Every structure is written in C-alpha cells, then in structure tokens.
C-alpha cells in the first residue's frame, strides 16, 4: 500500500510541472467524482472531499485550471481515503466493542 | 423512595433483557442480552461513583461544575417553550379532525420509553420521530422536518409524559430485528469522517473528558434525555439533529435523517440503555 | 427637559423630593408613581460604554471597592458562552442597585437591576460571554459601591466540523 | 397567542420568590446568519415587576443577556393569590405583559 502511494505522489509531482489544461482538469474532476460516488455507495463520504470538489469547480469556472486540477486531485485522494476507511473498518470495528 | 426506585429499575431491566433470545449466525452469535449487560457493566465499573440512573444526565453525571450550571438551568429550563408548544400541537386536530393521540397507543401519553420498536410487518425499526411523521401523512398532513422545532416540540411533550419510566426496548425473536440491532451496533463502533472517530471513541473510551468547553457524555443512557435544548444551538434538537451534527463533527458527510443506519443506531443505543429512566426533554451545553 | 443625570444624583434628589412629598401627603394625596418612574430610566449611555470602568462610572458616577460581603456565584468553566448562569447575593444593608459586567464583552455592562425598598439584595440571571473574561458584580448599598470579581473561562465546544 | 412571559412566584408567608423566563431572541447584533449577514441587535431593554401597584424589581438589560432570558429575585410581602404584573419592552419598541398569581 505504501509503495503504491509513493508512486502516485511521483506521478503527481511530475505532471503538475506542466500547466494543467481544461482537459486535464476534466479528467481529474471526473475520476474524483467517481471516487466520491463510490464512497457514497459505501455510505462513508467525507466533508473535506465535497469542499475540495466545490473548490475545483469554482477554480475551473474562473479559468484557473492549475488550481482546479490540483483541487480535483486532492478531492480524489480524500474520496479514496474515505473508501479505504470504510473497507478497513468492515471488520476492525469489533476490536473496540465492549465485551 | 430512592432505593425502591433503583430496585424497580433493575427488575424492569432484567425482565426486558431476558425477553430477546440470541441469534446464532454463521460466523458469530448476535446476543443483545449479553451485549447490554457488558455495556452497562463497563460504565458502572468505569464510573463507580455515578449512580445508575444518573448516567442519563450525560455530561452532568461526569462533572460537578457542569452539573451546577445544569441544575441552575433546570430551575426554569430553556425547553419550557418547546414543551408547551408540543403539548398544544399534540392536541390540535388535523384538517380531518383526528389528532396525534389517535395514532399512538394510550393516546401517545407515557409511551416514549417503548420507542424505537421493530415493526415485524414492515421488517424495519420505527422510531418515535418516524411514527409522528407517518401519523401526519396518514391524516393528510405534510411531514415536518426531523431536525427542526416542530418535531422537537412534539417529541419533547411525549418524552415529558414518560419521565422516570425505564427505557423498555424489545427485540422480537426475528432475524431481521437482530440484524437491525447489529447494524446499529456496527455503526456505533465504526470509525468515520476525516477525523477517523467512531461514536465509541468519544462516548465509550473518553466520557467525562473535555472536548474544549464540552464534557463528553457516556453512551449509557445517552438518548434518554432526548430531545434536548442545546445552548450551542440556542434551540431544540431531536435525535436526528444530534446524529447529523455528530457526523459533521468528525467531518463525515451526514446521512439523511431517519435513514436506516440512524434508526438502527437509535435501536441499538436505546436497547443497551434499557432500564434507565427517560429524562427528556433535556437541557445540554 | 430630560437631563441625562446619572443615577446616584437622581436617587439623592429623589430622596429629598420623596421626603417632601411624604410630608405633603399628610395634607392631601400627591401622585407618587411619577417618583417611581424617575429612577427607572433605561441607562442607555452605560450600556454603550466599552470598558467595565467606564460603564460603572456612567451608571453610578463613582468607583467600587471589592468587598467579601458580595457573594458572586459563577462557573469556573462556562458550559457554553451563550448561557452562563451568574448570581449574586449580599449581606450589605440598604441595597438600591445590583449590576453585572463582563469585562471582555464588546460592551462590558450586561445587566443592571433596580432594587426597591423591600426587595431582597440577591439576583440570578443567565448572561452571554464572548470569551474568557472577568465577571464583576456591583452592589450599590447606602450610596456606596461594592464589588466582587471572578474569572469565567469560555471556549467553544466540540472538535470542530 | 400564549404570553412570552413564564412566571413562577411562590410566597413563603413573609417573602415571595419570583422566577421569570421570557421568550425573546435577545440578538446581540454581533452574530451572522447562515448567509453571513449580521443579525441586527434585538433585545429586551427593560423588564418590570409590580406588586400592589408598587415596582418590586426593574431589570435593565443589554444584548449580553442570554436568549430566552431568565431572572430570579425575592421581595418582602406578597401573599398567595396576589397579582404580580410583569411587563417588558425591547429596543424595537415591541412589548408584552402578563399578570401572574402568587402561589
């Protein structure tokens, strides 16, 4: 899991060097939205994900696709984290249960 | 009188507890009776100086300075207006002439301690708030918001008529009822939100501790005082409103009020508090 | 002719007029309510003052001395700054006014009570406090001002949405 | 419409203890609403209690008095069944009054 994260950070770092275009933003926003939708089916969305999605949309509307893409990527990371939380808690909750 | 009251509580609890038989599932048994006993023993052991029925007073059973401020508020409580409004609404007939009393056993008086209950026809948990809105719809009236004043006033009045009666939640011997109970328990212990807290982190592991100005309430009897007037909201709050705000405090997106998860959560939390007195409506920080 | 007299001068003049009025009553009935209304004018200016010292000055025209005969009851940590139960009682004699000030509030004076003859010198109320602050109870007795002060801690609740 | 003033006045023979709870927003003028607009100051300025034609207590309040304000005091005299007149006026000129029976 940690290796996977390291690789994504690398890719993220490399691509953000170039100015993000509207197409980059649209792709990033779409995958963020998909991840958030999945978190929704798991009934485990986070508020910061929604704020990041809204910020991405706002930045895109004002034409600042760099910021918009960064926010969309942030939203996707948050949505993925909330999905990870839901799946990992599926059994782990029992550890805390009073016996 | 106090001693007799406490003994009465214990007896009522034991009868209620022994009612529901455990369900053996493929993987592990779901045993509400054992759960409730372990749940209560945990809090009694963790807070030996707190009397059993005092847990329903939440933060005020945990801190003297807070309790003094509560006792001052209770002299003339801020929920007084909601209580009067609820009493008035309860008696005001719908357009078709019926009133809420026609929807509820015993005219809705002194029955709050039996809610939520498991509706075996529907196979779902029915809470007091859901039942009230269903009563409105059955009589051609629009449902009211679950998180706003009208619902809080109605439930405040119904809770008031049950004050002192021990919580008495039943789990019928029906696999779906045990599943609803288990869903509620799982929700209670599942970490959620960016802060990664479960209800249990605050209300089981650290009741009595401070969260800035607030003192965390113990989970035992945590719904017995509902609905509550919170100074924080400068107004009344239903169980629905409390669940929604708790979720957003951990930065989780709240679910729809009265969604299955919340109703099952209320079912679980009420069941494990069986035997403790209803003390609603309550005043809280 | 509404001079914005501060209260203590007003009360002294009233006592003189009151005495005169009482003397006259023996001769015929004199409308008393006008008297009572005079010292109940809303102390607009005092509520506008920022600091507690200015508010006390505007309200009473003199400063107070701390006294252990003034018992101020306030929480150590307010459960919520929106509803802070605060009460004061005193064994002082001849109490004519009781006031509560919250030094750090935008305007220090929170509440002021006229204590007519025959009313006990003790008041309980619920105030709003913006942040941690000194709460000051002022008692005017026999024309002199006595005070008690206590710090009340105030912060927001919960872990933040 | 029910009065905005709830009163409990109980006489112990020589003293009467009075508690009042008044339904009023007591907006301080420092709070913003959901849309971020300032809610204008709206608070009770004076609350008066009268027994047998005589003022037994006058409260001068500022915006720092809590919402649905509460006050408790006692006065000498006042028997069971006496009338206690309570009235308030706020900074917008609105007012309400009620007459309570001493218990």
Which residue among B38, B192, B251 places its CB closest to the CB of A98? B38
The answer to whether the CB of C64 falls within 8 A of the CB of C108 is no
For residue A1, the model assigns a pLDDT of 64
Find, in chain B, the residue whose alpha carbon is nearest to that of A78: B194
Percentage of chain B exceeding pLDDT 90 = 87
pLDDT tens digits, one per residue of B99-136: 999 999 999 999 999 999 999 999 999 999 999 999 99
Q: Which residue from D45, D46, D64 is facing C110, i.e. has the nearest CB? A: D64
B225: Cα separation from own chain's centroid = 7
With beta carbons less than 8 A apart as the criterion, state whether B172 and B116 touch.
no
Chain B residue with Cα closest to A90: B190
The Cα of D100 is separated from the nearest Cα of chain C by a number of Å equal to 18
SS3 for chain C is: CCCCCCHHHHHHHHHHHHHHHHHHHCCCCCCCHHHHHHCCCCCHHHHHCCCHHHHHHHHHCCCCEECCCEEEECCCECCCCCCEEEEEEECCCCEEEEEEEECCCCCCEEEEEECCCCECCEEEEEECCCCCEEEEEEEEECCEEEEEEEEEECCCECCCC
CB contact under 8 A, B232 and C157: yes
The Cα–Cα gap between D27 and D41 comes to 5
The Cα D19–Cα B245 span in angstroms is 33
What's the gap in Å between the CA of C118 and the closest CA on chain B?
24
Nearest-CA residue of chain C relative to B209?
C158
Q: How far is CA C59 from CA B147, C89, C110, C111, in A?
A: 44, 20, 12, 11
Q: Do C83 and D61 touch (CB under 8 A)?
A: no
The CA-CA-CA angle for residues B248, B254, B256, to 5°, reads 150
Q: Which of B65, B66, B248 sits opposite C161 (nearest CB)?
A: B248
Domains in chain C, ordered, with CATH? 1-41 (no CATH), 46-152 (2.60.40.2470)
pLDDT, greater one: B66 or C38:
B66
Judged against a pLDDT cut of 60, whether residue B178 lies above it is answered with yes
Determine if the peptide bond prior to B227 is cis (ω within 30°).
Answer: yes
Mean pLDDT over A88-97 rounds to 95
Mean pLDDT of B44-68: 96
**Answer CATH for D5-28+39-101 from 2.60.40.10, 3.40.190.10, 3.30.429.10, 2.10.70.10:** 2.60.40.10
| pLDDT tens figures, B222-261 | 999 999 999 989 899 999 999 999 999 999 999 999 999 9
Q: Which residues are paired to C87 by β-bridges?
A: C73, C124
**Mutation target vs B (from C76, C83, C123, C126; most B CBs, 10 A cutoff):** C83
d(CA C62, nearest CA chain B) in Å: 33
Q: Which residue has the tokens 């719908």?
A: B94
Phi and psi at residue B99, in whole multiples of 5°? -130, 175
Kindly tell me the sign of the dihedral angle through the C-alpha atoms of A71, A77, A79, A81.
negative
Q: How far apart are CA B5 and CA B277, in angstroms?
A: 10
B194–A93 CB contact, under 8 Å: no
Q: What pLDDT, in 10s, does the model give residues A13-39?
A: 555 557 789 999 999 999 999 999 999
C31 in reach of chain B (CB within 8 A): no
Whether the per-residue pLDDT at D90 is higher than 50: the answer is: yes
Strand partners, C150: C135
Q: Report strand pairing: D44-51 vs D15-22.
A: unpaired
Radius of gyration of chain D (CA): 15
Instruction: Please work out, in degrees rounded to the nearest 5, the angle formed at the alpha carbon of residue A64 by the alpha carbons of A62 and A69.
Output: 120
User: Which candidate in C78, C111, C112, C130 is best for mutational testing of the D interface (most D CBs within 10 A)?
Assistant: C111
Angle between the N-to-C axes of helices A22-41 and A65-92, in degrees from 0 to 180, rounded to the nearest 10: 20
- Residues B82-104 have pLDDT tens digits of 999 999 999 999 999 999 999 99
Q: Which residues contact B220 (CB under 8 A, 6 or more apart)?
A: B39, B40, B43, B55, B272, B273, B276
pLDDT, tens digit only, all 161 positions of chain C: 344 444 555 455 445 444 444 444 444 444 444 443 345 789 999 999 999 999 999 999 999 999 999 999 999 999 999 999 999 999 999 999 999 999 999 999 999 999 999 999 999 999 999 999 999 999 999 999 999 999 999 988 777 65
Please say whether the beta carbons of B155 and B90 come within 8 A. Answer: no
Q: Averaged over B61-68, what is the pLDDT? A: 95
Which residues 111-150 in chain C show a CB within 8 A of chain D? 111-116, 118-120, 122-130
Q: Which residues pair with C2 in a beta bridge?
A: none
* Closest of B20, B6, B93, B4 to residue B272, by C-alpha: B20
Query: pLDDT band at B13, cuts 50/70/90?
Result: low
Give C112→chain D minimum CA distance, Å. Answer: 5
Residue B158 has pLDDT above 90, yes or no: yes
**Chain D contact present for B78, CB below 8 A:** yes
Closest partner residue to C157 among B72, B212, B248, by Cβ? Answer: B212
> How far apart are the C-alpha atoms of B118 and B188, rounded to whole Å?
19
Residue A20's pLDDT is 80
Interatomic CA distance for residues B220 and B230, integer angstroms: 19
CA-CA-CA-CA torsion sign (B103, B106, B109, B115): negative
Neighbouring residues of B209: CB distance < 8 A, sequence distance ≥ 6? B215, B216
Task: Provide the H-helix boundaries in chain B.
Answer: 2-19, 32-46, 64-75, 80-91, 128-138, 149-160, 175-189, 199-200, 239-249, 260-271
- Give the pLDDT score at B212: 85
Please state at what angle helix A65-92 crosses helix A47-61, rounded to 10 degrees. 170
User: Residue B213 and residue C82: Cβ atoms within 8 Å?
Assistant: no
Our answer on whether C and B touch (3+ beta-carbon pairs < 8 Å) is: yes
Predicted local confidence at residue B3, as pLDDT: 57
| pLDDT at res. C4 | 42
Residue % of chain B over a pLDDT of 70: 90
The gap between the terminal CA atoms of chain C, to the nearest Å, is 55
Give tens-digit pLDDT for B260-284. Answer: 999 999 999 999 999 999 999 999 9
Picking from B86, B267, C84, the residue whose alpha carbon sits closest to that of residue D64 is C84
pLDDT of residue A19: 79
Strand stretches in A19-86, DSSP E: none
- Tell me the DSSP string of B193-221: TTTTB-HHIIIIISTTSEEBTEEPPPSTT
Chain B residues with CB-CB distance to A99 below 8 A = 38
- Cβ pair C83:B68 closer than 8 A: no
Output B26 or A62, whichever has higher pLDDT.
A62
- The tens digit of pLDDT for each residue in A64-79 reads 999 999 999 999 999 9
Query: Which residues from D are below 8 Å from C114, CB to CB?
Result: 55, 57-58, 60
- For chain C, say whether D5 makes contact (Cβ under 8 Å): no
Mean pLDDT computed over B162-182: 97
**Residue A4, CB-side half-sphere exposure with 13 Å CA sphere:** 3
- B246 counts as catalytic: yes
Q: Is C76 on the interface with B (CB under 8 A)?
A: yes
CA distances from B166 to B9, B271, B275, D84 (A): 6, 11, 5, 39
What fold, for B2-284? Cytochrome Bc1 Complex; Chain D, domain 2 (1.10.760)
Residue B175 has pLDDT above 80, yes or no: yes
Q: Which of B103, B199, B202, B246 is catalytic?
A: B246
- Using a CB-CB cut-off of 8 Å, the residues of chain D touching C131 are none
* Element of type H or E holding A91: helix A65-92
């Amino acid at each position: 899991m940690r290796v996977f994260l390291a690789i994504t950070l690398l890719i993220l770092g490399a691509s953000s060097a170039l100015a993000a275009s509207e197409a980059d933003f649209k792709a990033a926003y779409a995958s963020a939205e998909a991840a958030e939708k999945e978190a929704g089916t798991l009934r485990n969305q986070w508020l910061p994900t929604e704020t990041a999605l809204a910020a991405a949309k706002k930045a895109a509307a004002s034409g600042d696709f760099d910021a918009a893409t960064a926010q969309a990527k942030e939203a996707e990371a948050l949505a993925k984290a909330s999905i990870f939380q839901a799946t990992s808690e599926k059994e782990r909750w029992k550890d805390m249960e009073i016996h | 009188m106090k001693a007799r009251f406490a003994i009465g509580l214990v007896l009522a609890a034991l009868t209620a507890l022994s009612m529901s038989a455990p369900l053996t599932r493929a993987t592990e048994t779901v045993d509400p009776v054992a759960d409730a006993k372990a749940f209560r023993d945990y809090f009694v052991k963790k807070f030996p100086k707190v009397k059993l029925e005092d847990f329903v007073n939440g933060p005020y059973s945990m801190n003297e300075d807070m309790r003094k401020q509560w006792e001052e508020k209770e002299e003339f409580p801020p929920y007084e207006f909601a209580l009067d409004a609820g009493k008035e609404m309860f008696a005001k007939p719908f357009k078709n002439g019926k009133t809420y009393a026609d929807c509820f056993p015993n005219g809705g008086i002194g029955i709050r301690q039996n809610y939520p209950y498991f509706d075996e026809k529907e196979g779902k948990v029915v809470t007091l708030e859901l039942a009230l809105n269903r009563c409105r719809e059955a009589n051609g009236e629009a449902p009211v918001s679950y998180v706003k004043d009208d619902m809080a006033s109605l439930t405040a009045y119904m809770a008031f008529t049950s004050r002192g009666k021990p919580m008495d939640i039943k789990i019928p011997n029906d696999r779906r009822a045990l599943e609803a109970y288990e869903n509620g328990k799982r929700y209670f212990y599942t970490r959620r939100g960016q802060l990664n807290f479960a209800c249990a982190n605050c209300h089981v592991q650290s009741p009595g501790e401070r969260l800035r100005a607030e003192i965390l309430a113990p989970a035992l009897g945590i719904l017995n005082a509902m609905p509550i007037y919170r100074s924080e909201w400068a107004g009344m709050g239903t169980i629905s409103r409390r669940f929604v705000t708790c979720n957003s405090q951990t930065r989780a997106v709240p679910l729809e009020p009265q969604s299955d998860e919340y109703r099952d959560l209320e079912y679980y939390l009420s069941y494990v508090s069986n035997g403790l007195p209803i003390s609603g409506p309550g005043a809280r920080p | 002719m509404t001079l914005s007299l501060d209260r203590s001068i007003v009360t002294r003049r009233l006592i003189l007029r009151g005495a005169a009025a009482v003397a006259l009553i023996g001769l015929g009935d004199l409308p008393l309510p006008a008297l009572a209304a005079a010292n109940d004018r809303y102390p607009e200016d005092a509520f506008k003052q920022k600091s507690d010292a200015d508010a006390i000055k505007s309200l009473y025209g003199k400063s107070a001395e701390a006294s252990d005969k003034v018992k101020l009851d306030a929480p150590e940590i307010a459960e919520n700054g929106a509803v802070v139960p605060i009460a004061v009682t005193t064994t002082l004699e001849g109490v004519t006014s009781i006031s509560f000030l919250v030094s750090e509030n935008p305007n220090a004076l929170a509440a002021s009570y006229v204590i007519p003859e025959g009313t006990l010198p003790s008041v309980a109320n619920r105030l709003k406090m913006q942040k941690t602050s000194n709460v000051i109870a002022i008692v005017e007795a026999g024309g002199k001002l006595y005070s008690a002060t206590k710090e009340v801690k105030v912060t927001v609740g919960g872990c933040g949405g | 419409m029910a009065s905005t003033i709830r009163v409990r006045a109980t006489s112990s023979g020589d003293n009467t203890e009075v508690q009042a709870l008044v339904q009023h927003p007591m907006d301080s003028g420092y709070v913003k609403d959901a849309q971020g607009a300032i809610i204008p100051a709206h608070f009770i300025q004076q609350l008066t209690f009268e027994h047998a034609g005589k003022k037994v207590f006058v409260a001068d309040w500022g915006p720092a008095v809590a919402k649905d304000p509460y006050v408790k005091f006692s006065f000498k005299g006042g028997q069971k069944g006496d009338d206690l007149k309570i009235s308030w006026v706020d900074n917008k000129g609105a007012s309400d009054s009620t007459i309570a029976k001493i218990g």
